[in-house]
Amino acid sequence: MDDIVRRVKGIIAEELQVDESEITDEATIADLGGDSLKALSLVAAFEAAFDISISDEDVMAMDSVKAAVDIVKKNLKA
């Protein structure tokens, strides 16, 4: 697991108060007990932690942990 994946999963674990062992690539925010407000909180946490800006389009596409990782990585390269 690379550093970005580890950091994204750590942020998800902290924001949603779940154990990292529950966070699989296919898991959704809802699967992990989150809702739309928690999803926005996650986006804000990703933006702050990685010093990136995530577009509304990317927020809407963030439907799994893997998608979140991919979106963070894409925005780091932008």
Which CATH code fits 3-77? 1.10.1200.10
Q: Write down the pLDDT at residue 77.
A: 85
Please write the tens of the pLDDT for every residue from 17-70: 999 999 999 999 999 999 999 999 999 999 999 999 999 999 999 999 999 999
What was the pLDDT predicted at 10? 97
Does the pLDDT value for residue 1 go beyond 80?
Answer: no
For the chain, what is the HEC assignment? CCHHHHHHHHHHHHHHCCCHHHCCCCCCCCCCCCCHHHHHHHHHHHHHHHCCCCCHHHHHHCCCHHHHHHHHHHHHHC
